[in-house]
Every structure is written in structure tokens, then in C-alpha cells.
Amino acid sequence: DIQMTQSPSTLSASVGDRVTITCRASQSISTWLAWYQQKPGKAPKFLIYKASSLESGVPSRFSGSGSGTEFTLTINSLQPEDFATYYCQQCNSYPWTFGQGTKVEIK
Amino acid sequence: EVQLVESGGGLVKPGGSLKLSCAASGFTFSTYSMNWVRQAPGKGLEWVSSISSSSHYIYYADSVKGRFTISRDNAKNSLYLQMNSLRAEDTAVYYCARDRGAVVVGHDYWGQGTVVTVSS
């Protein structure tokens, strides 16, 4: 199985900050990577697919990059509604696997 | 509007069974692969199972293989998860989620989840 490791596990930031979350795969997954945002008590929200393609309706302050084994999710100018937990997921091969999550907290 | 509504969760004793359902609307259900993803209390997301649009391809996580069965009824726009031999570690919120397209690049729509608690 492909292991996905996110860092950091928790990130403290302020409104307006630029934040970056890293996701590493245990083997190459090309660009078969998705990112999700989850708020407490809610279902995950699909943000990015194919490592860098923004899902329709997702604000342009979100961006993704990377290929192979290393990927990043960047949020430019963090907004109050962006405080949440973010997960990466590899879609290269079954079983689909998620990172452990990165919680973005208010500093 | 795409909607996925799960039901069937509840409290069950270890070794018991439960069948989850997911009612889909707002899209052509029969053309999309579907998934179950779960989240244990305070934990991250865990993919459980996937089924292709025609039920031709089915996949399971090792943690549920041999105990859970995914199925769908395209005539009823419904997805199911039959869960047998339940264990305490199966306690979680179970979400149904739609694959974004014919090539799986992620899950673009999710239900609100249904809670399964396995406890004596």
C-alpha cells in the first residue's frame, strides 16, 4: 500500500498568512493526488485534483503543486473560513490512502 | 443539485451486522463509481470500499475485506454497505462519496455521514 505522510500535523497561522502543507507519498504517484478540507462535524470538501487542478467553485487562493512523491497545498492570504483540517489522498492505485491530516489553527 | 444521503447507522454489538444505504440524487448515478470512506472518532479519513458504475469492479480495504460487502442498485439510485462481524474498531462516521469522473482523481461529492458505533 502507498503511505501518505503530511507535515506539519498542526499549523498555527493568522488571517492573511500564506500557509503551505506538504504531503509525501511512499512511492511515486505521478500527479494522482487530491486535497480535501474538512471542518468539525462536516463531510470533507474536494479542493484539488491531479495535484494542481482546482475544483470548480474553490477559491483561487488555494493551489497545489508537485509530482512523484512530494506535493504541496498552499493557501494564499488565509481567510477565517480556511481554518480546518486538510487531507491529501493518493488516487494512483488501490487501496486509496489518505494522509493523517493537517489542522490549520488560528494563531 | 448533487445529493448523497446516508442512512442505516446505529449502535450494534461486536460480532453484529448492519447495512448502510446511500441515496443519490441530482446526477446520473449509473454512470459514476462510488465509495465508502470512514472516519473514526477524532481520527483521519480511511477509504473503505469502491464500486464501479456497473458493479463490475469492486475493491476493499484490507481492514474490512471478507466482512463488508459493497453493492449498488442503479435503478434505485442507491449505494449500500453490508457490514458483518463488526468490531469495536469499525466505530466511525461512514460517508458515501462519488468519484469525480471516469478516471478516479478524487471524490467530489460526499454525504453528511452516518454514525456506526460497535459496543457491547
Q: What is the pLDDT of residues B38-78, one digit of tens each?
A: 999 999 999 999 999 999 999 999 999 999 999 999 999 99
What DSSP character marks residue A69?
T
For residues B39 and B101, the model is more confident at B39
Q: Which amino acid is at B48?
A: V
What DSSP character marks residue A28?
-
Cβ under 8 Å to B: A residues 16-75: 32, 34, 36, 38, 42-46, 49-50, 53, 55
At B104, is the pLDDT very low, low, confident or very high (cuts 50, 70, 90)?
confident
| C-alpha closest to that of B67 among B40, B50, B85, B49 | B85
| C-alpha closest to that of B34 among B63, B62, B61, B57 | B57
A15 vs A61: CA distance, rounded Å: 13
**What is the nearest CA distance from B115 to chain A, expressed in angstroms?**
11
pLDDT surpassing 90 at residue B101: no
